[in-house]
């Protein structure tokens, strides 16, 4: 190895000496042959003028020869020492690679390679599935009227009653609530235990989710697997999840207050119920979108034609997703007003298409959030508009040149929308049984899931991927 280095240094020294001698020789000839500027007669004497020009031409040719020698010398230097430059490229840092990728438009959320990408993706998908189960369990809790069974709340939680005496104490607390006095008067201790356990399971399931999310998050942050952008996004989702417990208690407190009328059943505020459910939807959508971004940093694209088709789908899918979200939130106001127990007929509402009291409240805006007739009518109109829009969306995209995965997603979305409308009508006609009501709520979240997946799949690919795509996909 040492002998090779000595040989390379000798070759470098010879090349540099060759360059130096050529430059020195060329410079000396130019200075010696250049006419003196102090003799103006040379400009007047044609013979001297042309001789000076010829001298400069000779000097120019000498300079060209010198320049060629310089170029030859550097070429030789590069040729004989090219092995010295290779290690710098081999040892390029991952930060530089990430910088190059970001310049080309691809921004990875996980920096520790495919294995870390897979592990973090599984963790995020599991967290999203946990939130999905939380929403379903919350629906069961509401439909069984278990949400008001626990009359106090602690952020850290507490142990359930462990003895008969503890159960009696909790039961006495519940007996002071408006729900027991007006709805469940005469309830026995066994029935109370059922609704208490339902609410307790819902609260503890949420706290378990916080622990399951926080511990891996801390570990991945410590190992440096997560980028700053992903860390900020997950921190915001974690903070929203922690605030979800506060929103839930804020909602429950409204149901523990005395109703304004003695003929009104105690129930939670529809505004607070809608806020609680909407917050859960936001957390779920954020986790699911982030998990997709981790495991699928690039959308499925095999040709420029498919990318253009996906862009056309995206322009339609985005407003359609907003409509699906608004319809889901309107369902929260139906639940908050117990509007599903009124007008249990379809397609008419009772004997008419539009009830007479849809605008009976003052101010007018209250009808859309507190009037049972108006709330159910709004939900029916929005559900029908969603189904018609998704069917039109499928029809308008059936001839587009798009990826088969996108086409399959569009068909699945249309099928899920039809199933969701069927579940809604069945729930209404059956006077909202727990099973159908829970399935209808799960269907709304499933439809949202498909819309998220569709929007994520049709997003624009990075510049580096776009440059590598053929114009048309190869068909087998």
Q: Which residue has the tokens 């069927």?
A: 422
360-376, pLDDT tens digit by residue? Answer: 998 999 999 999 999 99
Whether residue 34 is preceded by a cis peptide bond, meaning omega within 30 degrees of 0, is no
CB atoms within 10 A of CB 290: 20
Residue 261 pLDDT greater than 80, yes or no? no
Task: Quote the tokens at residue 106.
Answer: 């691809």
Residue 178 pLDDT greater than 70, yes or no? yes
Give the predicted TM-score (pTM) of the model.
Answer: 0.75
CA-to-CA distance for 347 and 357, rounded, in angstroms? 18
| Lowest-confidence segment of 27-31, 166-170, 235-239, 414-418 by average pLDDT | 27-31
414-426, pLDDT tens digit by residue? Answer: 999 999 999 999 9
Are 310 and 301 in contact by the 8 Å Cβ rule? The answer is yes
376-411, pLDDT tens digit by residue? Answer: 999 999 999 999 999 999 999 998 989 999 999 999
User: Considering all CA atoms of the chain, what is the largest pairwise distance in Å, rounded to the nearest integer?
Assistant: 132
Are 197 and 247 in contact by the 8 Å Cβ rule? The answer is no
The pLDDT score that the predictor gives to residue 302 is 81
For CA atoms 148, 151, 157, 161, give the dihedral sign: negative
CA-to-CA distance for 162 and 417, rounded, in angstroms? 45
310-341, pLDDT tens digit by residue? Answer: 999 999 999 999 999 999 999 999 998 989 98
Q: What is the 3-state secondary structure (H, E, C) of 445-463?
A: HHHHHHHHHHHHHCCCCCH
What's the whole-number mean pLDDT along residues 121-134?
Answer: 96
Residue 186, phi-psi category: left (phi > 0), alpha (psi -120 to 50), beta (remainder): left
Residue 278 pLDDT greater than 90, yes or no? yes
Question: Could you tell me how far CA 30 lies from the centroid of its own chain?
Answer: 70
- In 3D, which of 272, 247, 269 has the Cα closest to residue 260? 269
Task: Quote the tokens at residue 57.
Answer: 């031409």
What's the whole-number mean pLDDT along residues 125-129?
Answer: 97
Contacts of 300 (CB under 8 A, 6+ apart): 403, 405, 406, 457
Are 216 and 123 in contact by the 8 Å Cβ rule? The answer is yes
To the nearest 5 percent, what fractions of the chain are helix, strand and coil? 75, 0, 25
Residue 295 pLDDT greater than 80, yes or no? yes
More confident residue, 384 or 462: 384
- In 3D, which of 470, 444, 442 has the Cα closest to residue 133? 442
| Lowest-confidence segment of 29-38, 177-186, 405-414 by average pLDDT | 29-38
More confident residue, 40 or 262: 262
What single-letter DSSP state applies at residue 265? P
* Radius of gyration of the chain measured on its C-alpha atoms: 38
Alpha helices (H) in 337-433, listed in sequence order: 367-370, 372-397, 404-429
- In 3D, which of 373, 393, 423, 403 has the Cα closest to residue 318? 393
Confidence label for 88 from pLDDT (cuts 50, 70 and 90) = very low
What's the whole-number mean pLDDT along residues 343-360?
Answer: 91
- In 3D, which of 172, 155, 251, 248 has the Cα closest to residue 207? 155
The pLDDT score that the predictor gives to residue 98 is 38
CA-to-CA distance for 174 and 149, rounded, in angstroms? 6
Which uninterrupted H or E stretch holds 102? helix 94-103
Residue 228 burial class via C-beta count within 10 angstroms: exposed 0-12, middle 13-18, buried 19 and up? exposed
Confidence label for 155 from pLDDT (cuts 50, 70 and 90) = confident
What's the whole-number mean pLDDT along residues 80-101?
Answer: 34
Cα angle 350, 356, 362 (rounded to 5 degrees) comes to 135
The pLDDT score that the predictor gives to residue 10 is 54
Residue 299 pLDDT greater than 50, yes or no? yes
For CA atoms 324, 328, 329, 331, give the dihedral sign: positive
- In 3D, which of 437, 385, 389 has the Cα closest to residue 413? 389
Percent of the chain with pLDDT strictly greater than 90? 55
Contacts of 294 (CB under 8 A, 6+ apart): 109, 110, 117, 120, 121, 124, 230
Confidence label for 264 from pLDDT (cuts 50, 70 and 90) = confident
The pLDDT score that the predictor gives to residue 465 is 80
The pLDDT score that the predictor gives to residue 99 is 37
Give me the count of residues in the chain: 476
CA-to-CA distance for 293 and 275, rounded, in angstroms? 27
Residue 120 pLDDT greater than 90, yes or no? yes
């Amino acid at each position: 190895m040492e002998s090779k280095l000595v040989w390379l240094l000798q070759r470098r020294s010879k090349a540099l000496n060759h360059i130096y001698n050529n430059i020195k020789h060329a410079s000396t000839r130019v200075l010696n042959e250049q006419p003196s500027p102090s003799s103006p007669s040379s400009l007047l004497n044609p013979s001297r003028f042309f001789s000076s020009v010829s001298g400069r031409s000779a000097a120019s040719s000498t300079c060209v020869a010198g320049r060629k020698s310089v170029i030859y010398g550097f070429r030789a230097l590069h040729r004989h020492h090219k092995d010295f430059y290779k290690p710098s490229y081999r040892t390029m840092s991952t930060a530089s690679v990430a910088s190059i990728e970001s310049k080309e438009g691809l921004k990875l959320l996980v920096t520790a390679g495919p294995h870390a990408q897979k592990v973090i993706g599984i963790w995020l998908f599991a967290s999203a599935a946990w939130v999905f189960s939380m929403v379903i369990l919350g629906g069961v809790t509401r439909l069984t009227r278990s949400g008001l069974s626990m009359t106090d709340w602690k952020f850290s939680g507490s142990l359930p009653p462990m003895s008969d005496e503890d159960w009696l104490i909790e039961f006495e607390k519940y007996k002071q609530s408006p729900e027991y006095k007006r709805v469940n008067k005469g309830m026995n201790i066994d029935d109370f235990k059922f609704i208490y356990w339902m609410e307790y399971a819902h609260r503890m399931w949420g706290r378990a989710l916080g622990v399951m999310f926080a511990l891996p998050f801390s570990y991945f942050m410590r190992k440096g697997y997560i980028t700053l952008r992903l860390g900020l996004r997950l921190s915001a989702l974690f903070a929203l999840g922690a605030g979800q417990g506060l929103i839930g208690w804020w909602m429950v407190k409204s149901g523990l207050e005395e109703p304004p009328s003695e003929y009104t059943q105690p129930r939670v505020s529809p505004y607070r119920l809608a806020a609680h459910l909407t917050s859960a939807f936001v957390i779920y959508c954020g986790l699911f979108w982030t998990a997709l971004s981790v495991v699928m940093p690039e959308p499925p694209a095999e040709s420029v034609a498919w990318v253009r088709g996906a862009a056309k789908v995206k322009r339609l899918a985005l407003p359609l997703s907003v409509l699906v979200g608004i319809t889901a939130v309107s369902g929260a106001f139906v639940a908050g007003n117990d509007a599903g127990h009124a007008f249990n007929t379809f397609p008419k509402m009772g004997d008419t298409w539009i009830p007479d009291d849809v605008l009976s409240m003052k101010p007018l805006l209250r009808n859309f959030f507190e009037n049972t007739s108006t709330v159910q009518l709004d939900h029916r109109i929005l559900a029908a508009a969603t189904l018609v829009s998704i069917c039109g969306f499928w029809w308008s995209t059936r001839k587009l040149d798009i990826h088969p995965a996108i086409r399959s997603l569009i068909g699945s979305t249309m099928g899920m929308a039809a199933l969701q409308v069927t579940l809604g009508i069945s729930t209404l006609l059956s006077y909202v049984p727990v099973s159908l009501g829970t399935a209808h709520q799960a269907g709304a979240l499933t439809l949202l899931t498909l819309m998220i997946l569709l929007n994520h799949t049709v997003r624009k690919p990075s510049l580096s991927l776009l440059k590598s795509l053929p114009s048309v996909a190869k068909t087998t």
